[in-house]
C-alpha cells in the first residue's frame, strides 16, 4: 500500500545573504506531518534566519520557504495555521499569565474560553494568576507556548524552546511535543544542543554554516550505537 506523507513545512533552495554573510545557503528540506522535527546545528548555522523566512519576517535572497505549500504572507488567517515562539520577548511583569492570554485572545479574535483551554494544555493553570514577573523560565516558556496555541495551529515553529529549562522542564517539554505530534500536529524545534535535542525529536534537519548536513528520521540519520552529536561531528569533519 502506498504511504502518502504530507510535508507542511518546505524549504526549496532557500538562501539568505546579509551583506557578506551567507546565513542560509541553498537549503532544501521537508518537515513531515505529525512529527517533532529537530532543526539542529551550531550557533550561527542559520536556524533562526530560516524560521524567520518561514514566518515571512525575513525575505529570502533566493528560493522559497512555505507552510502548507504557501508563503506565510499568502496564508488566510496565518495564526490559525502556524504558531510560533521565536524571540521570547518579555511579558508585562505586573500582568498575570491569564491576563496576558486574554489580551492575545482578544487581538486574535478567539473566544475568552480559549484562554483556560490553552492554560490547561500547557499545565499552567496553577500559576495563571501570578504576575508574569514572578514566573520561572520554565513557566514563562509554557506561557509562550500557550500563546502560540491560541489559534489551534496544526503547525508550530519553536526556536530553542529547551534553552534555560531544567531537567524536569525538558522532560515536560518532551512529553508535550510528542503529544502534539501524536495529535497530528507538525512541530519544528530548533536547537544548538544536539545531545539534548536528540531526546526531544523523532526527525531531524541538520544544518551547518547555512547548508544542509543531514535530514530524515532520527533512526536513519544516526547509525546504531552512535549519537547525533557524534554523527554531526563526523558529517561536518569535526571528527575523523
Ligand X SMILES: Nc1ncnc2c1ncn2[C@@H]1O[C@H](COP(=O)(O)OP(=O)(O)OP(=O)(O)O)[C@@H](O)[C@H]1O
Chain residues binding ligand X by CB under 6 A are: 18, 21, 23, 41, 43-49, 192
Nearer to ligand X, 85 or 115 (CB): 85
Report which of 16, 7, 90 is spatially closest to residue 47, judged by C-alpha positions.
16
- Which residue lies nearer to ligand X by CB, 47 or 114? 47
Query: Least distance to ligand X from the beta carbon of 69, Å?
Result: 24
Residue-level length of the chain: 240
CB of 217 to ligand X, least distance (A): 22
> What are the helix (H) ranges across 122-192?
137-149, 167-182
Q: How far is CA 77 from CA 103, 145, 178, 238, in A?
A: 18, 19, 25, 44
Characterise 96 by phi-psi region: left (phi > 0), alpha (psi -120 to 50), beta (else). Answer: beta
Spatial distance between the Cα atoms of 64 and 24, rounded to a whole number of angstroms: 12
| Closer Cβ to ligand X, 96 or 141, answer by number | 141
Closer residue to ligand X in complex, CB, 87/129? 87
Q: Shortest CA distance to 71 belongs to which of 114, 140, 121, 14?
A: 14
Pull the grid cell for residue 232: 554531526
- Residue number, 186 or 208, with CB nearest to ligand X: 208
Beta carbon of residue 14, minimum distance to ligand X (angstroms, whole number): 12
CB of 48 to ligand X, least distance (A): 3
Least separation in angstroms between residue 39's CB and ligand X is 9
Amino acid at each position: 500500500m502506498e504511504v502518502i506523507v504530507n510535508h507542511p513545512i518546505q524549504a526549496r533552495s532557500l538562501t539568505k545573504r546579509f551583506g557578506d554573510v551567507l546565513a542560509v545557503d541553498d537549503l532544501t528540506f521537508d518537515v513531515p506531518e505529525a512529527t517533532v522535527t529537530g532543526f539542529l546545528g551550531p550557533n550561527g548555522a542559520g536556524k533562526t534566519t530560516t524560521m524567520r523566512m518561514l514566518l515571512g519576517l525575513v525575505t529570502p535572497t533566493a528560493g522559497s520557504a512555505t507552510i502548507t505549500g504557501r508563503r506565510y504572507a499568502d496564508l488566510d488567517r496565518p495564526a490559525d495555521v502556524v504558531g510560533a515562539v521565536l524571540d521570547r520577548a518579555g511579558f508585562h511583569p505586573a500582568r498575570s499569565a491569564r491576563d496576558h492570554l486574554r489580551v492575545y485572545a482578544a487581538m486574535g479574535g478567539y473566544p475568552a474560553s480559549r484562554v483556560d483551554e490553552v492554560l490547561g494544555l500547557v499545565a499552567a493553570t496553577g500559576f495563571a494568576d501570578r504576575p508574569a514577573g514572578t514566573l520561572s523560565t520554565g513557566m514563562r516558556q509554557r506561557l509562550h507556548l500557550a500563546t502560540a496555541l491560541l489559534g489551534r495551529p496544526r503547525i508550530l515553529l519553536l526556536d530553542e524552546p529547551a534553552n534555560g529549562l531544567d531537567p524536569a522542564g525538558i522532560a515536560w517539554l518532551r512529553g508535550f511535543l510528542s503529544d502534539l505530534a501524536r495529535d497530528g500536529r507538525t512541530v519544528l524545534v530548533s536547537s544548538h544542543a544536539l545531545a539534548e535535542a536528540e531526546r526531544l525529536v523523532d526527525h531531524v534537519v541538520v544544518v551547518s554554516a547555512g547548508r544542509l548536513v543531514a535530514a530524515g528520521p532520527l533512526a536513519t540519520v544516526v547509525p546504531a550505537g552512535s549519537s547525533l552529536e557524534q554523527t554531526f561531528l563526523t558529517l561536518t569533519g569535526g571528527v575523523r
